[in-house]
Amino acid sequence: MRGSTVFVSFVPVEEILDLRQEVLRPGQPRESALTDVDMLPDTFHLAARTDSGALAACATFSTEPLPDTPALAPFVTEGVWRLRKMASAPQVRGQGYGGAVLRAGLDACTARGGRLVWCSGRLVAAGFYRHHGFTPVGDQYTVPGIGRHHHFVLRLP
């Protein structure tokens, strides 16, 4: 994969549910990988596939305001997008698929007038988010049944 082009496409949520469930909700029902915003008109889903066509990475972007916390109060309130349910298949991690999906999503948010993208990221993924320009904001917190998280933000050009 290194050195080759990764193709990312817009997909319906049904195409990424299995990967979401496998990576983000292991041992839970497939439906647990759905969110309340997956079917909203402004929400979009992206996927990257391997050369063989296997789903390698996915992400969802939606127009969701920042959480009402003091640490996030200084940020813009217009043009805010949320990154959700980002997942990479374990066998392709570190090969650029996740980064390609993220970059494509950030470009799509910018094209839609986005000024800021935020996410509630797992601490195990903090290095990935930082590598791609996100900044952790506020205190860490626990999402019950999932683990330690941090809010991350990225201002768009």
> Higher confidence at residue 2 or residue 144?
144
Q: What is the pTM of this model?
A: 0.92
pLDDT given at position 1? 39
Q: Residue 83 and residue 149: Cα distance in Å, rounded?
A: 14
Least confident of 68-72, 79-83, 101-105, 138-142: 68-72
Task: Please identify which residue in the block is written with the tokens 């050195």.
Answer: 3
| DSSP symbol at 16 | T
Extract the tokens encoding 58. Answer: 């996915």
Q: Where are the domains of the chain?
A: 8-118
Percentage of the chain lying above the pLDDT 70 cut: 97
Average pLDDT over residues 18-23: 96
Q: Tell me: the pLDDT tens digits for 100-130?
A: 999 999 999 999 999 999 999 999 999 999 9
Helices (H) then strands (E): counts for the chain: 3, 7
pLDDT given at position 2? 46
pLDDT given at position 4? 63
CA dihedral of residues 94, 102, 20, 49 (deg, nearest 10): -70
Q: Residue 157 and residue 143: Cα distance in Å, rounded?
A: 31
> Which CATH number is correct for 8-118, 3.40.630.30, 3.30.420.10, 2.40.50.100, 3.40.50.2300?
3.40.630.30
Please determine, for residue 5, whether its predicted confidence score (pLDDT) is greater than 80: no
| DSSP symbol at 95 | S
